[in-house]
Amino acid sequence: MRFCDDRIVPALRALLARYGLRLVVLPAATAIPGSYWGAPEAGVIGAEVYVRRDTPLHSALHESAHVICMDPARRAGLHTDAGGDYDEENAVCYLQILLARELGVAPAALCADMDAWGYTFRLGSAYAWFTRDADDARAWLRREKLITGAGRPAWRRRGEARAGRRA
């Protein structure tokens, strides 16, 4: 399992900044504001993503991807529960895997962490879904202009012309 430890935090902070998000690293044993599942899972409030060093990386990326994928109206009132529908949730899962790759974490490795946490996909694993059954998630991300035609992050949030612009 990969965590938001001292090795990954600088790169994660820089990645999130490209989206206008701020990573807040909290001390050990501190409650995590905005955590839907409770500590050590990541939390989100507005444009801030809260983690501790024992927060799983997939959790930080998942919550960040929620902020990126949600529409500006929901983002404006974001506190803890990202909401969204089935298609958006799939897009969030797919985007978190792409973002991990930007951090040097292979898709198979992040997917193994997702499986260990308890994500469930109809093909039996996150990696099988990512490689063989995620056409709808990719299409959603392309339609919302969140990934390029080549399948790379577009560095913008849904409904914004570019990253970091407040809606």
Per the domain annotation, does 18 fall within a domain?
A: yes
Residue 137 CB contacts under 8 Å (≥ 6 apart), including other chains: 87, 90, 91, 93, 94
Per the domain annotation, does 166 fall within a domain?
A: no
Per the domain annotation, does 160 fall within a domain?
A: no
3-state class of 74 per DSSP?
A: helix
| pTM recorded for the entire structure | 0.95
Alpha helices (H) in the chain, listed in sequence order: 9-17, 57-69, 72-76, 86-102, 107-117, 126-132, 135-143
Structure tokens at 109: 């490795």
Total structural domains within the chain: 1
Q: pLDDT tens for residues 23-74?
A: 999 999 999 999 999 999 999 999 999 999 999 999 999 999 999 999 999 9
Per the domain annotation, does 105 fall within a domain?
A: yes
Taking the C-alpha atoms of residue 15 and residue 38, their distance in angstroms, rounded to an integer, is 24
pLDDT on residue 164: 57
Q: Write out the residue range of the structural domain in which residue 1 sits.
A: 1-155
